[in-house]
Amino acid sequence: MSNNENEIEKLLDENLELIQEFFCPSDMTLIYFVTENLDESEHNKIEKHINECDDCKRIVDDLKKASKWFDSKREQMLHNLEQKAISEGLLSWYGFHLPDYLILAYLHGKIPDNKMGDNIRKDIETHLEQCNTCMKKFQGYKTDDRT
Ligand SMILES: [Zn+2]
Ligand SMILES: [Zn+2]
């Protein structure tokens, strides 16, 4: 490496923070941001940038939407989200269908008789009212039971 290159490298190093504030963060950084995998100071820096940069804000908004989709592709993540949704009564918010075991548990009266169970039942009922796909499944299971 020539002296000149060394010099440039050193300058870049020293001004990295400044440079980062001027230029848009990489897509990867934005993904880490959306999935909350940055440390706090880094997170705050990106947040500041996004508030000032429409381009990155748009990317982050899209990533947030996409991350919901990614989550549904990853079984463990889906499971965690489901647990969170169930415990917080947000099942219908997440835009995914009722898992079969919940439909069956509901049909067979296996949802626990407590506050959490009440929330789950309410969410299932709300979802069934709004979702033909799950309603068909539910009715299918019901018919299966009778035969
Ligand atoms: Zn930007
Ligand atoms: Zn559904």
Kindly report, residue by residue over 23-51, the tens digit of the pLDDT: 788 878 888 888 888 889 989 989 999 99
For residue 91, report the distance from its CA to the centre of ligand 2, in Å.
10
Find all residues with CB under 8 Å of 72, minimum gap 6, and list them. 78, 96
pLDDT band per the 50, 70, 90 thresholds, residue 57: very high
Task: Tell me what the mean pLDDT of segment 51-66 comes to.
Answer: 88
Ligand number nearest to the C-alpha of 100: 2
CB atoms within 5 A of ion ligand 1 belong to 24, 53, 55-56
pTM above 0.85, yes or no: no
Report percent pLDDT > 90 for the chain: 14
